[in-house]
Amino acid sequence: METIGVVGLGTMGLGIAQVYASAGFVVIATDAHVPARETARTRMAEALDARVSAGKLTKEARDATLANLQIVESVQGFAPCTLVIEAIVERLDAKQSLFAALEAVLAPTAILATNTSSIPVAQIAAPASHPDRILALHFFNPPTAMKLVELAPHAGTSATTITRARALTEAAGKTVIQCPDRPGFIVNRCARPFYGEALALLQEGHSATEIDAAMLARGYRLGPFALIDLIGADINLAATEGLSVAMQNHPRYHVFPALKAQVASGKLGRKSAEGFIFPAKVTPAPNPAIAQRIEATLINEAAWLLHEGGTDAQGIDTAMKLGLNFPLGPFEILTHYGKPAVRATLQALAAKAPDALRPRYAPAPYLTE
């Protein structure tokens, strides 16, 4: 068994450490913050105890997982690791200096993975001595429950690094989907129209409950507004704005004023006890035209990502189903509608869109082939 390193023992890092430790890997972990190191074992024990109480884990498996965890004071103790995953603060300079410190300690063949959500992997790797062994392994929250890991190499990542990082993470029970080093990877990017087109409809006068009802009728577990209420409108706005900037403010990532107004009103969703629809239940009769419009833009975004390369339709479908609990992936939905119908929907949207938003509906080349 190889030894896995984890740096950062917050929300993501502790869960990532548990994922590999549960699979039988020795995990060496650290955090710059002393209390995070001191409480890590107890926090993991509590998470495992909850599973034992629920009858989902044996006491032996719990003990074995905890026995695999070694908390050390600094990355000086990481020499035996062949794969190190960082889940520290989302800052380029912090991630670059951490990787420099790790390069001084690790064997030259050891893999360095970042769990970044928004920093280009190429930028993190740029100052490294061996950038070929750097890539992103992007876990979802909570890492213990979410099956999906997006693997994003940068242009200089070696094939061996990709193969080994995939094998180790699959051995820890995850479904690994490769994607390009592009903003939002697959899920955080291809999810944007689910919210964005719903917000466009809201601004045009449809109600949030009507929009959600349309998506529930298509098999989605939550409608766009119920999902925003669950995540928090502020978190959703930050993700939307971040992606918009990273994509040069292209209208496909337009930040709709309705979302900004919602955040300004303080009705952030469950956490503030009131949101777009929370705590109401969705009751209106579903309008299939609403679902068709939102799904056309979901398909188009996925088709643009496909056009950019570095992933495939099946990978995007799997990532969207595992990362967002969608009933079907965008290319599976495309099979249902057919390219001509999706093109017609996009064309009709473009025809009535204000000038600034018209490029939002330009069809990706895949839809016109």
Residues catalogued as catalytic: 117, 138, 150, 188
Rounded to the nearest 10 degrees, the angle between the axes of helix 11-22 and helix 34-53 is 50
Helices (H), 266-364: 288-308, 313-324, 330-337, 339-352
What does the alpha-carbon distance between residue 200 and residue 214 come to, in Å, rounded to a whole number?
15
CB of 94 to ligand NAD, least distance (A): 5
Q: Which is nearer to ligand NAD, 141 or 314 (CB)?
A: 141
Neighbour tally for 356: CB within 10 Å? 9
CB nearer to ligand NAD: pick between 148 and 208: 148
Cβ-based nearer residue to ligand NAD, 142 or 286? 142
Residue closest to ligand NAD when measured from CB atoms: 10
211 SS3 class: helix
Q: Identify any residues that bridge with 367 across adjacent strands, giving them in sequence order.
A: none
Q: Which candidate, 182, 119, 181, 117, places its Cα nearest to that of 154? A: 181
Q: What is the closest distance, in whole angstroms, from the C-beta atom of residue 91 to ligand NAD in the complex?
A: 8
CA triple 266-270-148, angle to 5 deg: 120
Nearest approach, Cβ of residue 338 and ligand NAD (Å): 35
Query: Which residue from 92, 130, 91 is spatially nearest to 112, judged by alpha carbons?
Result: 130
The string over 54-75, giving b where at least 16 C-beta atoms fall within 10 Å of a residue's C-beta and e elsewhere, is eeebeeeebeebbebbbbeeeb
Q: For residues 367 and 260, what is the distance between their CA atoms, to the nearest angstrom?
A: 32
Nearer to ligand NAD, 71 or 333 (CB): 71
Residues with Cβ within 8 Å of residue 61, at least 6 apart in sequence: 22
Rank residues 39 and 207 by Cβ distance to ligand NAD and give the closer one.
Answer: 39
Complex with ligand NAD: residue 67 or 100, whichever CB lies closer: 100
Q: At closest approach, how far in Å is the CB of 321 from ligand NAD?
A: 18
In the chain, how many H helices and how many E strands? 17, 8
> CB 308 → ligand NAD: shortest distance, Å?
21
b/e sequence 29-51, b meaning 16+ C-beta within 10 Å? bbbeeeebbebbbeebbebbeeb
Binding site for ligand NAD (CB under 6 A): 7-13, 31-33, 36, 87-90, 94, 98, 115-117, 139, 141
Taking the complex as a whole, the smallest distance from the CB of residue 363 to ligand NAD amounts, in Å, to: 31
